[in-house]
């Protein structure tokens, strides 16, 4: 649809979203803006998301391929957004809508009603669409067998995948693979290669610069413009590599013993690099007197998340009252003491899988002290691991910020800085803000023209104006001083 036709459509459908997809009633397909197709405006219904168009019975256009765009995990309704974040992390792969509703604090019936009102589809349909679109990308870009595509995409069987793919795309997986364009296919030169799409700008190199000094020795390596790490698939080790493919995709190379966790591993990549999080340019921060100039200097920054919530929370714990370099050293010693060794990856700098929460919960205080931790902090770290294992603490991205920080601060050795930084990095809560962080206080002082670091309470008061995007505000403040703090 060209721009002129779109303006006619928006004029005749005042409630239609300006950013969205065009579903053509006469053909039964939906397209992205700018598609070469030229439908008449009166035959078009506008949808905000691909899943809403699919739930209404439309299939994606084979020409403009709207299904290749990243699905949004955002919504103006807080409960819906929290549920979408959980679904994008695979929440409905193993639990029911009732379980999902319980996690966001509503009944299943109310959650379905909210989804119909704000998304245009049920939670179960959103999860089904997630699996179908991931399978379509595997069919386009890899030569995996159908049984492996089904397993990697979260389907219980090839038969189930065939049924869902026919419902969504009107073609079977075999027919879709036969139709793929040659330029979509990635030639493997070791490992399975997959492009991961994102919308808008992404300061990928800057995120690598943030993650590099915090990389856990033996588990993570950042070198030559790429992030590499060990993984565990059903107890067997693997390796994931992430680099920039182009302005709209990251390239993931997966070396895994099985493909059954691939859809979740790609979700972890999205979470780690904030691919579904907003940039400050898309928020009121861009107009803030203090942050606006910082946003202009560093476009495309996204709040980095966690590959594994427990792992990142432990990394934050180790950063208490020490430098970033000191915390990294402690993390390496912890991995060497309690992690599972991985053979054959030493040339990459990868030697271990990060310790399981149960291993850390069962470790003796003496063993934790041996890595260089004071006794009180060793006990606190072990208690945190035990609380995580028995469910007293859940690092759930759908948890409201106040509830999350209260639960964390109820544990010994966890203060506001630790709780807020765990909420920011491990849980991906977008309004988390560790106001007591020395780097934030120092950099904020610089930008308001003062020499001494700001008082934490004063910075906390200033940050009220940055809600609900304080995590992004923290990131821009850290980067304004070249990321010399922040755990």
CA distance 317 to 419: 9
> Which has the closest alpha carbon to 386: 423, 354, 361?
361
The encoded tokens of residue 126 equal: 């959103």
Q: Going by C-beta distance under 8 Å and a sequence separation of 6 or more, which residues neighbour residue 16?
A: 9, 10, 46
Per-residue HEC secondary structure of the chain comes to CCHHHHHHHHHHCCCCCCCCEEEECCCCEEEECCCCCCCCHHHEEEECCHHHHHHCCCEECCCCCHHHCCCCCCCCCHHHHHHHHHHHCCHHHHCCHHHHHHHHCCCHHHHHHHHHHHCCCCHHHHHHHHHHHHHHHHHHHCCCCHHHHHHHCCCCCHHHHHHHHHHHHCCCHHHHHHHCCHHHCCCCCCCEEEEEECCCCCCHHHHHHHHHHHCCCECEEEECCEEEEEEEECCEEEEEEEEEEECCEEEEEEECCCCCCHHHHHHHHHHHCCCCCCCHHHCHHHHCCCHHHHHHHCCCCCCCCCCCHHHHHHHHHHCCCCCHHHHHHHHHHHHHHHCEECCCCHHHCECEECCCHHHHHHCCHHHHHCCCCCHHHHHHHHHHHHHHHCCCCCCCCCCCHHHHHHHHHCCCCCCHHHHHHHHHHHCCCCCCCCCCCHHHHHHHHHHCCCCCCCCHHHHHHHHHHHCCCHHHHHHHHHHHCCCCCCC
Q: Examine the residue annotation and report whether 31 is marked as an active-site residue of this protein.
A: yes
Question: Which of 67, 308, 431, 437 is the catalytic position?
Answer: 437
> Which has the closest alpha carbon to 322: 377, 396, 391?
377
Question: Which of 15, 31, 189, 451 is the catalytic position?
Answer: 31
Q: Examine the residue annotation and report whether 61 is marked as an active-site residue of this protein.
A: no
Residues counted in the chain: 487
- For tokens 């992030």, the residue is 227
The encoded tokens of residue 367 equal: 């063993």
The encoded tokens of residue 389 equal: 């294992």
- Where in the sequence numbering do the catalytic residues fall? 31, 437
């Amino acid at each position: 649809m060209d721009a002129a036709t779109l303006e006619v459509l928006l004029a005749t459908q005042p409630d239609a979203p300006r950013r969205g997809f065009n579903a053509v009633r006469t053909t039964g397909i939906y397209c992205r803006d700018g598609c070469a197709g030229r439908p008449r405006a009166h035959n078009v219904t506008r949808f905000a998301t691909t899943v809403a168009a699919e739930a209404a019975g439309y299939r994606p256009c084979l020409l403009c391929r709207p299904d290749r765009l990243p699905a949004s995990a955002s919504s103006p309704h807080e409960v819906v957004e929290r549920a979408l974040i959980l679904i994008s992390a695979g929440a409905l792969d193993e639990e029911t809508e009732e379980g999902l509703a319980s996690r966001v604090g509503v009944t299943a019936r109310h959650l379905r009603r909210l989804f119909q009102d704000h998304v245009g589809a049920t939670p179960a349909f959103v999860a089904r669409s997630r699996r179908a679109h991931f399978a379509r990308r595997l069919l386009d870009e890899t030569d995996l067998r159908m049984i492996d595509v089904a397993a990697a995409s979260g389907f219980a069987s090839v038969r189930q995948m065939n049924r869902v793919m026919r419902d969504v795309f009107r073609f079977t997986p075999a027919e879709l693979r036969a139709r793929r364009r040659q330029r979509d296919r990635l030639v493997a030169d070791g490992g399975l290669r997959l492009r991961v799409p994102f919308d808008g700008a992404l300061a990928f190199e800057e995120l690598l610069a943030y993650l590099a000094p915090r990389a856990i020795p033996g588990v993570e390596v950042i070198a030559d413009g790429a992030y590499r790490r060990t993984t565990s698939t059903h107890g067997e080790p693997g390796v994931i590599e992430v680099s920039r493919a182009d302005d709209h995709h990251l390239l993931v190379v997966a070396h895994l013993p099985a493909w059954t966790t691939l859809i979740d591993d790609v979700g972890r990549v999205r979470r780690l690099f904030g691919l579904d999080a907003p940039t400050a340019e898309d928020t009121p921060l861009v107009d803030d007197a203090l942050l606006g100039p910082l946003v202009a200097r560093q476009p495309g920054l996204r709040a980095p998340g966690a590959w594994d919530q427990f792992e990142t929370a432990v990394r934050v714990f180790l950063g208490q009252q020490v430098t970033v370099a000191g915390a990294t050293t402690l993390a390496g010693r912890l991995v060497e003491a309690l992690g599972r060794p991985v053979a054959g990856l030493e040339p990459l700098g990868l030697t271990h899988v990060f310790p399981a929460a149960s291993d850390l919960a069962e470790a003796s205080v003496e063993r934790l002290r041996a890595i260089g931790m004071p006794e009180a902090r060793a006990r606190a770290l072990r208690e945190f691991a035990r609380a995580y294992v028995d469910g007293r603490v859940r690092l759930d991205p759908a948890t409201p910020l106040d509830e999350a920080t209260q639960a964390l601060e109820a544990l010994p050795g966890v203060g506001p800085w630790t709780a807020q930084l765990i909420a920011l990095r491990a849980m991906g809560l977008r309004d988390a803000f560790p106001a007591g962080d020395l780097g934030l206080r120092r950099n904020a002082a610089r930008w308001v023209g003062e020499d001494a670091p700001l008082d934490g309470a004063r910075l906390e008061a200033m940050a009220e104006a940055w809600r609900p995007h304080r995590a992004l505000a923290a990131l821009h403040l850290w980067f304004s001083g070249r990321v010399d703090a922040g755990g």
